[in-house]
Amino acid sequence: MARRPATAKRRPLSWVWALGRTLAAVVVGYLLACALLLLAYRVVEPPATTVQLQRVLEAAVAQAPYDLQYHPVPEAGQDPDVRHAAVASEDGRFYTHNGFDFEELRIARETAERTGRPMRGASTITQQLVKNLFLTTHRSVVRKALEVPLTVLAELILSKDRILTLYLDVAEWGPGVFGIDAAARHHYGTTADALTREQAARLVACLPAPLDRRPQDMGRTADRILTRMRQSGW
């Protein structure tokens, strides 16, 4: 009986290797492009983000009107209270971790095991920044896998203060509202550098669910944020 050529047996495996090399090249190219953008964002504000593009496309598919408000400002254009409120509420160990808060992850996992509820999110401000800049809001294994190297890159390339500035500039604060300055204008008719302490806390209280929450309804959560700020000496 004639034997099959050896190449016939190896052919399927060669396709797998070719696909793997292609995917690896795409991922490396994507990460390199993101690294170059992060280098640029050290001195310039992002012209747009992937989450903004996601929202525009979602509105187009739904054939719904969508008014995008986006006014990025430098650190000097952000009231110190809103910066302190974001750290107090979103990432209390922001200035001491390297992009991943393993202590918060441990607490979240133990709480989920004790209560039987799904594990709550324990993303840091840096992780939320790269998600907004380069990924989407859709939960998936791929997104979480890409989030890890992107977080490392952001921490290596950007200072902590710049990460916080960019996060406040690109975060979603309501339907079509991106950035703290747009949020201040939209919700309070003022600018990001003129927010009161109470207004800053109420706006930050909306960050975990910006499409569902409104600052005027966030009194209790804002009070807890203000308490944390005082405990941190702010």
pLDDT tens-digit readout, 132-141? 999 999 988 9
pLDDT digit string (tens) for 11-51? Answer: 667 888 888 888 889 999 999 999 999 999 999 999 999 99
Say if residue 186's pLDDT is above 70: yes
pLDDT band at 164 (very low <50, low <70, confident <90, very high): very high
CA distance from start to end of the chain:
84
Cα separation, 36 vs 87, in Å, equals 26
Cα separation, 183 vs 43, in Å, equals 22
pLDDT of residue 53: 97
Domain boundary assignment for the chain: 12-231
What average pLDDT does this structure show over 112-117? 68
What average pLDDT does this structure show over 169-178? 97
| Ranges assigned E (strand) in the chain | 69-70, 172-174, 177-178
9 to 12, 16, 30: CA distances (angstroms): 7, 13, 33
Say if residue 2's pLDDT is above 80: no
What average pLDDT does this structure show over 141-165? 96
Phi-psi label, residue 176: left if phi above 0, alpha if psi -120 to 50, beta otherwise: left
Percent of residues, the chain, with pLDDT higher than 70: 90
Classified by CATH at the fold level, domain 12-231 comes out as Penicillin binding protein transpeptidase fold (1.10.3810)
